[in-house]
Structure 1
Amino acid sequence: MPAIHRHLATDIQRLLDQAVTEGVAPAASCAVVLGGEALPTLTSGQAGEGTFFDLASVTKLFTTATMLSLVDGGVLELDAPIGKWLPAYSHGAKAGVTLRHLLTHTSGLPSEWRGWESALREGRSFDRILLIDELLGTALEAAPGTRFEYSCAGFNTAMALAEHVTGRPWAALVNDRVLSRLGTGAITGTPDPALCAPTELQPELGRGLVRGIVHDEAAWSLGGLSGNAGMFATAAGLAVFGEALRTGLDGILSPELAAEMWRSQLPEVLGTNFNPADPGFGHGLGLRINQQPWMGSAGSEARGHGGFTGTSLLVDKARGVVIALLTNRVSPSRDGDDATGLRKAVSDVVYSGGNDHN
């Protein structure tokens, strides 16, 4: 290993160990790719190289790639009203919602759909068909294309759209159109629980210690892998996807749509409603851009996504950098450190140590 990589690995290992020691998370793992060269995966605490972590909202990147592959195949259109296919979106203000709106969080939908709560409160078992119908009945809070509001509900609506149009289960679509083309078995929506880092202890929901089952309650109620959450991966596995993103998702998306995923969208989508100070960072299709503070001071051109469970994927084409950082910071409780400081520290170290790999 080159000396610069040894120094980098030492610095990252120190940060992971410090995070575990200080109680940020009981398990942590990091995989870095510089200029196309994968460094050895680093782990700390209750994690090994083969440990799978709940990716939480990093799942949205896989959702985006899946949806765009349907656009590539002529099954969907990026800028057509989704009411063309979904009856629930064929009238009223919802008739203006497009797939581009859903993938840029500009649809006007609320941030969350919490239909699972009423099912639990009323003692009903989760009926996915009924829950999807309820999801699709969610009212808009704003007109499409007039505001940015991060929306898990929007990404689950995209999932429902894909299932409705294709007649196929979401997990099968994601597997066929994205996962099977990555050449790694280290990303999955159905992990072996024995290989997974645990997440939250949720006795109040009748779940106990959640392990190998999606932590996000909305995705849980919808059966697992969903539009907003539910993917699991090892750090090395997620880095494979990150490198595919960096190099254009060859074999998954056309060059045109891969570039569209990367391109900053908000100024165009929001038009006169665009305010550079809100949300304070850019957004492509699914990809967050220069999201401070976790992408680091040198990550102004980086794209990626974070996850509530303490996960993140950073990809920087210009600098040739991929960072897959996975923790289970919600175990056994979500009330501690949100791992933002760890993510930023790792990003800063990688950028400072990877300057020779542009």
Structure 2
Amino acid sequence: MSPTLPSTTAQLQRDLQRLLDQAVKDGVAPAVSCAVALAGKDLPVLAAGKAGRHTFFDLASITKLFTTVTALILVDDGSLELDTAVGRHLRAYARGPKSAVTLRHLLTHTSGLPSEWRGWDAALSQGRGFDRQVLVADLLATDLDGAPGTRFEYSCAGFNTVMALAEHVTKTPWGQLVKERLLYQLPTLDITGTPRVERCAPTEFQPALGRGLVQGIVHDEAAWSLGGLSGNAGMFATADGLRVFGTALRDGLPGILSPGLAAEMWRSQLPEILGGNFNPADPGFGQGLGLRINQQPWMGSSGVQSRGHGGFTGTSLLVDKGHRTVIALLTNRVNPSRDGNDATGLRKAVSDVVHSFAP
């Protein structure tokens, strides 16, 4: 630890390290890493267990934030529109109830699509293997569970639909699109959809799916079937790399998004979209474009104005503009099995202790 750190910051580092060490000791995850920016200042990266400061972790659903920004870059350049029916581009959405679905619906989990698309499961059980073109067509054929704009239902299927939409209008593979339009604009090499296996914390042991120990390959089965980096999952990063992205979000994504779209990403969307169907007491609510808002179970009691996202593998990114705070917390809590601690307690504890030091 740097001896030049102010005493309060040094104490925060000690408190965080104790939390990480205890999480490993308690079996929450075998590998944990955390990078914090407090009052605009980056603190040293911390790690515990089988992780170092340069270990890459599977970000799981934090990937949805990269999907959101990539889609909004396409809105900025005129390739996509937030409030035009996606059926203008996708034949599968051209008629029937799905003809009302917009990109805004997809990015706010209000499209009416179900939470999951399980075409990958059917392909495996039928011994067909993974044909991406066939799988994407199956994804786009998914029926709605409700009318667009009438309810919130967190949907991985919706974000994979964003991927399919972006690929269709740009004629560019998703991984290439995200890399060229977004990742190349960030001042870090520590975010990728194609990590080196030996630098990655392993996730789940999945012999039933023929995968063995999953390492350096996306854990999420839907993303795996679609080739890796997808709309809902598949990004990998170090804690410091994710902090770089969080800092860009905090500062309005300068040089990446127009100020208007960056502000729209941050703004609470559901009261306007859902109208009379909006219930602020519902625990699922608190949603910008891609960004989750005030998710108390893990953002903590002081995270009322925080934005961010969590991931199934035990990851989270919290951004707070008011305190100029970023918390990138990465674990592989699904190693060797997803049946253990879901790391919510650790995420909340880390959020609470960082907020307690915020000016």
TM-score normalised by length of structure 2: 0.98
One of 79, 97, 118 as aligned partner of 1:114: 118
1:8 aligned residue: 12
Amino acid at match of 1:299: G
Q: Is the 8 A contact 1:112 1:151 kept in 2?
A: yes
Mapping for residues 21-170 of structure 1, pairs under 5 Å: 21-170=25-174
Number of aligned residue pairs: 355
Write the distance in 2 (CA, Å) between the matches of 1:278 and 1:104.
15
Mapping for residues 212-251 of structure 1, pairs under 5 Å: 212-251=216-255
Greater CA deviation, 297-306 or 173-182? 173-182
Q: Is the 8 A contact 1:148 1:279 kept in 2?
A: no
1:299 aligned residue: 303
* Cα offset, 1:46, TM superposition: 0.2
One of 342, 353, 356 as aligned partner of 2:357: 353
Write the distance in 2 (CA, Å) between the matches of 1:221 and 1:136.
15
Matched, 1:309 2:313: yes
Q: Secondary structure at the match of 1:101?
A: helix
TM-superposition CA deviations, 1:310-348 (whole Å, max 9, x none): 000000001111000000000000000000000000000
Write the distance in 2 (CA, Å) between the matches of 1:95 and 1:279.
29
Q: Is the 8 A contact 2:152 2:285 kept in 1?
A: no
Aligned-pair identity (%): 73
Task: List gaps (5 residues or longer) in structure 1.
Answer: none
One of 245, 256, 262 as aligned partner of 1:258: 262
Write the distance in 1 (CA, Å) between the matches of 2:281 and 2:144.
23
Write the distance in 2 (CA, Å) between the matches of 1:181 and 1:4.
33
* Cα offset, 1:35, TM superposition: 2.1
2:274 aligned residue: 270
Q: Secondary structure at the match of 2:273?
A: helix
TM-superposition CA deviations, 1:38-74 (whole Å, max 9, x none): 1000000000011000000000000000000000000
Q: Is the 8 A contact 2:270 2:285 kept in 1?
A: no
Task: List gaps (5 residues or longer) in structure 2.
Answer: none
One of 187, 191, 195 as aligned partner of 1:187: 191
TM-score normalised by length of structure 1: 0.98
* Cα offset, 1:280, TM superposition: 4.6
TM-superposition CA deviations, 1:219-258 (whole Å, max 9, x none): 0000000000000000000000000000000111000000
* Cα offset, 1:353, TM superposition: 1.4
TM-superposition CA deviations, 1:189-232 (whole Å, max 9, x none): 00001000000000000000000000000000000000000000
Write the distance in 2 (CA, Å) between the matches of 1:205 and 1:226.
19
Q: Secondary structure at the match of 1:218?
A: helix
